[in-house]
Amino acid sequence: MTRGMIVKSIAREVLGDKGAEVWSRLELIGDIAVIKKPIKTSLTLEDFRVLGEALIRRIPGVKSVWLAVSPVTGPYKTRSYTHLAGEERTWTIYREHGCSFKVDITRVFVTPRLGYEHLRVANLVGYGEVVVNMFAGVGVFSIVIARVSKPRAVHSIDINVDAYNLMVENIKLNNVEDIVIPHLGDAAKVVEERLVGVADRVLMPLPDLALDYAPHALKALKGPRGFIHFYIHMDMDKGRGFLGRAIEIVGSRVESLGWRLFKADSRVVRKVGPGLAQVVVDAGVEENG
Ligand SMILES: C[S@@+](CC[C@H](N)C(=O)[O-])C[C@H]1O[C@@H](n2cnc3c(N)ncnc32)[C@H](O)[C@@H]1O
């Protein structure tokens, strides 16, 4: 039985038919289980606590269970939590693709749902590339890239001091001090002050700012050609027209800045709400003229 199936059967056993409201809303981050509370639910806090206790008893390795009571909000993309069961601890070691990451679920953004994307992008990075990750969090993309590919350097920026401090720890934890260079601050400012004309590839894994910060991503490129991974939110339609529209949106943004796309692919990274998807556009860009 997969872990998803185990969670489903525990939720059914403990909560009966109401278990269907939550079983797919569970994330395991290291030894912490997070249940994302549905916006509308008939389940009470007591129901969630009973489920939390059952998860501790039945899922090997789960030591602490939290209910996420808000969506990700604010510039740091964090959530609010209520403790449900087990240890009242919010930090853990999260493992992905052979790397280890110290995280604190209340202070930084982290989700295992980006695991495939981290590896996919890492596999696109060529030997000796310089990468700029403008919204790096605790450094998951940057460190997976450093461990999986052979980049010369990965400049890894975050504005949240807690994410930055954990990123510094994670760089040491994964022995990539000679490759991943942490920067604390607003990505626009850090690029303008330290990283103009250095990069072969730029990552923008923050849909709120990816299009707005495109001028700084372009400035970070060595030029006249490079790659930028734009993460944006798109309304999904029944066909896959939104994936083409995502490319058009990115294309017109870079054209407004004097660049153009010489190559572009797009894919759904994950669903982030009813009818809403996070989409990545892998954009090959070159300067006009
Ligand atoms: C969605 S999270 C990044 C996730 C991370 N790349 C991963 O794969 O786990 C977005 C990050 O951008 C950071 N951030 C928000 N505004 C920023 C800014 N202006 N400059 C740099 N980082 C910023 C947040 O603190 C947060 O850690």
CATH of residue 67: 3.30.300.110
Tokens in use for 161?
Answer: 């001091």
**In the β-sheet with 130-133, what is the strand arrangement from edge to edge?**
180-184, 153-158, 130-133, 201-204, 225-235, 276-287, 259-273
Q: How far is it, in rounded angstroms, from Cα 242 to Cα 280?
A: 12
Tokens in use for 275?
Answer: 């009818």
Distance 125 CA to ligand 1 centre (A): 20
The CA–CA distances, whole Å, from 218 to 112, 188, 200, 229 equal 29, 11, 10, 11
Q: Which domain holds residue 250?
A: 109-287
Instruction: Based on the fold, state whether residues 277 and 146 are members of the same structural domain.
Output: yes
Q: Which atom of ligand 1 is nearest to the CA of 203?
A: 6
pLDDT at 1: 67
Distance 45 CA to ligand 1 centre (A): 31
Residue pair 142/131 in contact by the 8 Å Cβ criterion: yes
Instruction: Based on the fold, state whether residues 160 and 257 are members of the same structural domain.
Output: yes
Instruction: Based on the fold, state whether residues 117 and 249 are members of the same structural domain.
Output: yes
Which residue has a Cα nearest atom 6 of ligand 1? 136
Pocket test for ligand 1, best of 94, 158, 165, 183 (most atoms within 8 A of CB): 158
Which residue has a Cα nearest atom 12 of ligand 1? 135
Residues of the chain with pLDDT under 50: none
Instruction: Based on the fold, state whether residues 143 and 270 are members of the same structural domain.
Output: yes
Q: How far is it, in rounded angstroms, from Cα 55 to Cα 7?
A: 8
User: Which residues lie with the beta carbon below 6 Å from any ligand 1 atom?
Assistant: 75-77, 109-110, 114, 135-137, 140-141, 157-160, 163, 186-187, 205-206, 209
Beta strand 153-158 with 180-184 is parallel
Distance 5 CA to ligand 1 centre (A): 32
pTM above 0.75, yes or no: yes
Which one, of 102, 216, 215, 218, lies nearest residue 164 by Cα?
102
Instruction: Based on the fold, state whether residues 73 and 114 are members of the same structural domain.
Output: no
Give the chain's domain count.
2
